[in-house]
Amino acid sequence: MTTSTTTDRDDTAVSAPAGRPSPTRRFGTLALAAAVVVGLLLGYAGGLLTPNLTRPGDASVEAGFSRDMTTHHAQAVQMGLVAFQHGTDPEVRQIGLDIALAQQGEMGGMQAWLRSWELDPSGTQPRMAWMPGGQEMVRDGLMPGMATTEEMARLEAARGPEVDVLFLEMMIKHHIGGVHMIDGLLGASDETDVVRTAQTMKNTQQKDLVNLRNALERLRP
């Protein structure tokens, strides 16, 4: 669940020469990088501590979901960091940071599962082959909800309030696609720990969607 009270910027605290980031900004970037790494390590450790499963195979629903959702999450992390670093609305910046940290941790957990199952991170199956009808949902190599290269370039080039609105619009679409993929896993897997983690992911993304939509309604011209 996101809040809007913790990441307001104070660009006046320390001045810096033109064209160079202020010490405050540099510190914030370093702290963010450290937080992302910690999130990844915690997620990875959590996956390793998961009790032994029945070791799903390379073509299993669990392996396919872990691989594809890792890729899906990676784009969400990228989007969230853009919103945090370049957004102008405090709530949007907080939402972006929360999503980036949460999904980075989940990526670590899913990669730990694959290691514990002695499976490669990439695998041999096509995208979404683990989900009934999943391959038909892939468009130009993109899974449900994922932004195109052009959309990502536009987000990264945007500045000012445009960043906030673009991020909200793109992340809403991204999360809806992610929830659809999670539902595919929940309807097909009987691995208790995988199902439990996936349900937590779904609950988190549904809460995010409420905040994303409310913020978009407030900010959209």
Structure confidence by residue, pLDDT tens digits, 164-216: 999 999 999 999 999 999 999 999 999 999 999 999 999 999 999 999 999 99
Q: Is the pLDDT of residue 116 over 90?
A: yes
Question: Residues 120, 47: contact at Cβ < 8 Å?
Answer: no
Packing angle, helices 61-86 and 161-186, rounded to 10: 170
Query: In terms of CATH architecture, what is 40-219?
Result: Up-down Bundle (1.20)
**Distance of alpha carbon 167 from alpha carbon 164, whole angstroms:** 5
For the stretch 33-87, pLDDT in tens is 555 555 555 555 554 444 444 689 999 999 999 999 999 999 999 999 999 999 9
pTM of the full predicted structure?
Answer: 0.77
DSSP classification of residue 136: G
**Distance of alpha carbon 182 from alpha carbon 49, whole angstroms:** 22
Please give the share of the chain, as a percent, with pLDDT higher than 90: 74
**pLDDT of res. 11:** 43
**Distance of alpha carbon 171 from alpha carbon 20, whole angstroms:** 30
Q: How confident is the model at residue 134 (pLDDT cuts 50, 70, 90)?
A: very high
- What CA–CA distances, in Å, run from 175 to 69, 157, 178? 11, 22, 5
